[in-house]
Structure 1
């Protein structure tokens, strides 16, 4: 359990004739209309337990409180079970930064469950309290749009960060860039893992034939699905660009190693004949030429310098010293 874990909280809102009222969770099961009612439980799964109302079928209840979920949309009789992933409200440790919300949607009644606090839920709650949500179709379309709007800047930031990395290829620290690019790539992979299923779930719900899913709701669901589709494409592009940049950094690193190896090889080649001459003249035997002359030392130094210059000139003539 991370530091941002919140205890189990349950709230219910009733919208009737434009008036929004906080009601007890127990009153949701007896709701028979007119109006719209929303029950939300947050913190389920952190050592807490919750008995879902009897109107939620057993299959749906198990899906609402499951520990692991993926975005999905299932039609069950006259209701819909839809799971979505969105940005977390609080900073989460050891997490991908996305949290799930599981929603049981009926025409005039919505039951939602989440393990962590979702950033987009505040906008949805504000819309409910303002009386702008009057049925399950309005709720899901508002939730989908809020999630996509919250997630869009996060995806765009990955692309911008990758642009910065491309600008630092020539003069940046290769090792720091490799770590940053690897992080961006991993984030893109994690986000795409849930963004694409979000798109599919919303597309499926937009095709369902329910009276409480109005034409405007379908348009908003498709709009949110299109935004998720665009984000999925952008994340795929980020992943491919990150892989390409990683290859370029590997090539730059190999090129730098080759240049340094060339410098070492040139230096060693220059000193190789000089080492031979000094080793030959340094033997402790009789008969070394000019050993008794004062100018012999400087003569050997000049001879070695001439050999070094000759080798350097040969490398320059062969263009081996060029980058």
Structure 2
């Protein structure tokens, strides 16, 4: 559902979509956010004939990456942040596309963005007065929400590395793979998002005030730190995966060794019992009453001797 906000005389309020589309260049600051899957987004974009054609197409594009492109009197900004709900569809971060110009911002997203409601609340509270404030608010909300998520990835790896013996190798490898995949998905968009924010903070735009540039640069610095931490998480995940693979191989080798030792203990016993179990004449002491227990005693002695030899040679350590 589209939402339209108007900031006028120090106060903000929601207005209709038609009122937004009919506003003139000297009208107060306004912002419209549209759902890309609804016709409202196409209505807004189609009625904004003053925008460059490239910006019109980019606002409705479904596949985007974070960027900042200056076009004439405005700027096209794509940002990525956490979604309002974990639907498990598409990329882990949700994209929002913004066209910013003097006193007007148009934003489009195809999935709910978690930062949308806090930014809308700031707008209605009168703390967002121009396009620079709006984009800086989105950048700050996105980085503040992502910061603990990135930290949790590192904490998860810390728990796995400090307790490798408490979790089964299969479960630990699954958790490491999930953390690594999440880190790769986040870094894919956070790294270019840093570049986009830095480029916007240095842009020669009249609607960007000094405090807006400061907030954008601060958000860019946090993105840079998160990108570095995600890269460290990715490398640590690879090392943890290799360690878990080695641990699993060591466990399998030990199990195979135990099976081999047991087989070697029983191999001569099987030969002896098979030899005495042949249905032919001439087997010594076949009719003696003590013969069975004698064979059992010989087998026990052989098994004990072989096991003792394996223990003495430290095969089982």
TM-score relative to the length of structure 1: 0.91
Show structure 1 runs of 5+ residues with no match: 1-8
The one of 227, 232, 244 equivalent to 1:232 is: 227
Distance 1:265 1:197 in 2: 55
User: Which residue of structure 1 aligns with residue 268 of structure 2?
Assistant: 273
Distance 1:206 1:316 in 2: 72
* Pairwise CA distance, 1:25: 2.6
Instruction: Please list, as runs of the form range in 1=range in 2, the aligned pairs for 1:232-271 lying within 5 A after superposition.
Output: 232-271=227-266
Q: CA distance change for structure 1 residues 197 and 75 in 2, over 3 Å: closer, same or farther?
A: same
Question: 1:21 and 2:16 equivalent?
Answer: no
Distance 2:187 2:228 in 1: 9
Query: Deviations for 1:110-145, whole angstroms, at most 9, x for unmatched residues?
Result: 111111221112121122222222222111111100
User: Which residue of structure 1 aligns with residue 284 of structure 2?
Assistant: 289
The answer (yes or no) to whether the contact 1:96–1:187 under 8 Å persists in 2 is no
The one of 76, 83, 106 equivalent to 1:88 is: 83
Q: SS at the partner of 1:240?
A: helix
Query: Deviations for 1:234-265, whole angstroms, at most 9, x for unmatched residues?
Result: 11122222222221221111111111111111
Distance 1:38 1:248 in 2: 52
* Pairwise CA distance, 1:161: 2.2
* Pairwise CA distance, 1:35: 3.5
* Pairwise CA distance, 1:166: 2.4
Question: 1:172 and 2:191 equivalent?
Answer: no
Question: 1:212 and 2:207 equivalent?
Answer: yes
Q: CA distance change for structure 1 residues 173 and 194 in 2, over 3 Å: closer, same or farther?
A: same
Query: Deviations for 1:80-129, whole angstroms, at most 9, x for unmatched residues?
Result: 11000111112323233421111111122111111122111212112222
Distance 1:149 1:283 in 2: 81
Distance 1:182 1:38 in 2: 41
Q: SS at the partner of 1:257?
A: helix
User: Which residue of structure 2 aligns with residue 40 of structure 1?
Assistant: 33
The answer (yes or no) to whether the contact 2:136–2:212 under 8 Å persists in 1 is yes
User: Which residue of structure 2 aligns with residue 99 of structure 1?
Assistant: 94
Distance 2:269 2:38 in 1: 75
Q: CA distance change for structure 1 residues 272 and 102 in 2, over 3 Å: closer, same or farther?
A: same
* Pairwise CA distance, 1:30: 2.5
Q: SS at the partner of 1:50?
A: helix
The number of equivalent residue pairs is: 313
Q: CA RMSD in A?
A: 1.8
Query: Deviations for 1:264-303, whole angstroms, at most 9, x for unmatched residues?
Result: 1111111111112222222223322222322222222111
Show structure 2 runs of 5+ residues with no match: none
Choose between structure 1 and 2: higher helix proportion: 2
The answer (yes or no) to whether the contact 1:45–1:67 under 8 Å persists in 2 is no
The one of 46, 50, 57 equivalent to 2:42 is: 50
* Pairwise CA distance, 1:171: 2.4
